[in-house]
Structure 1
Amino acid sequence: MTSAPPAPLRVLVADDQELVRAGFCVILEAAGFAVAGEAADGAAAVALAASERPDVVLMDVRMPVMDGLEATRRIAASGADAPKVVILTTFDLDDYVYEALRAGASGFLLKDAPRADLATAIRVAAAGDALLAPSVT
């Protein structure tokens, strides 16, 4: 008797730019991930993370209503089975990296990273490990 293949990792995409979210969703689905939802601000990301329980949240830093760092803090504090958060940003400022890690993020990638790095970051975070973009370290 053969066992069923493992379910794909579920990923929530949080970014205030619709085209950016759509691009990430296409990349994720092509890489075999399931998109658990999309959020246009940090507050929506926190709510969707609670209701959809994704494995990983891709989180932009600069968003309206609630920024990605505060949203990450709230998601990371939501319990032992909280989704892992990978911060995605166009800004490689040291303060963001430190704040993201303090907030409980499992990874930090720049938006100009190759798509293979994005897939790797999601898998690494879902496995409980941490990942920082080489340009950041």
Structure 2
Amino acid sequence: MITYPENVIQPKAIGYWKSVSLPDLPDPHNFIDFSISTEQRQAIIQYLENGLAFFHYLGHSFCRFNCGKPEWEMGCSDLTDGTFAWPEGLSHYIKEHSVWLPSEFIEHAMSNMNFDKTKIDQRKLAQKNDAWWKCFTSLQTKQAASAFKIRADE
């Protein structure tokens, strides 16, 4: 494990999904929740799409639901708000597949809707830390995953 100096920001990874090459990540099928309001979904989609691109890959991602969305539209960058980091295409899962994210992220995003990405000091950003996100891999049932989601009516 890499240790970084105290002043380095290592955002928590969220929304990186299981694949053949990354079997230890969560499965997005376990995060589907149809009970979330359209307004709350739209707010989180806007938040995710407003992130600062801070890490770029040489290849594109793909939709884990195999819905036919072109890979280049899924993106090739990591975005951040300075606290969390997510793949550029994460909003697609919320828009098109009713995926919802753990309450810790939702609460953070809802209370920071107007974050200013120009205030993020990119020189202090390190690669994302995926330890927190990988703990959701063990939540292989929808029932377990929903225990970590904030409900629209709360």
Larger radius of gyration: 2
Larger strand fraction of residues? 1
Q: TM-score, normalised by structure 1?
A: 0.29
